[in-house]
Amino acid sequence: MATEHIEAHEESHPGPRQYVIIGIILVVITGIEVGLFYIEANAALIVWLLILSSLAKFLIVVGFFMHLKFDDRRFALLFFFPLLIMVSLVVVLMALFSTLTR
């Protein structure tokens, strides 16, 4: 595995302009989240929307600010494999403690 391979990727990194745009997107999503919070509506819908918007922000930061979208796939594996285990653990623990059905 040669190092040119990685440097080729470096070229495709976004520049400061794109970073600022991404930053604005993140702020907008946060604004939407806070807005959602003040809406009286079906609780399930709002909760799901809040979870999905948090997930979107999470993926944007990891993908662009941490360059995982452009970087080597093996870094992504090092990060997302533990994440997969942890998300499963959280869901199973919540189910075991009956938080999901209470």
Alpha helices in 1-102 (DSSP H): 4-11, 16-37, 43-60, 73-96
Place of tokens 């070229």: 11
Residues of this chain that bind another protein (CB under 8 A): 1-3, 5-6, 10, 13, 15-16, 19-20, 22-23, 26-27, 30, 33-34, 36-37, 43-44, 46-48, 50-51, 53-54, 57-58, 61-62, 64-66, 72, 74-75, 78-79, 81-83, 85-90, 93-97, 99-102
Minimum distance from residue 15 beta carbon to another protein (Å): 7
Q: How far is the CB of 80 from another protein (least distance, A)?
A: 8
Q: How far apart are CA 57 and CA 60, in angstroms?
A: 5
**CA quadruple 23, 28, 32, 37: dihedral sign:** positive
Q: How far is the CB of 69 from another protein (least distance, A)?
A: 13
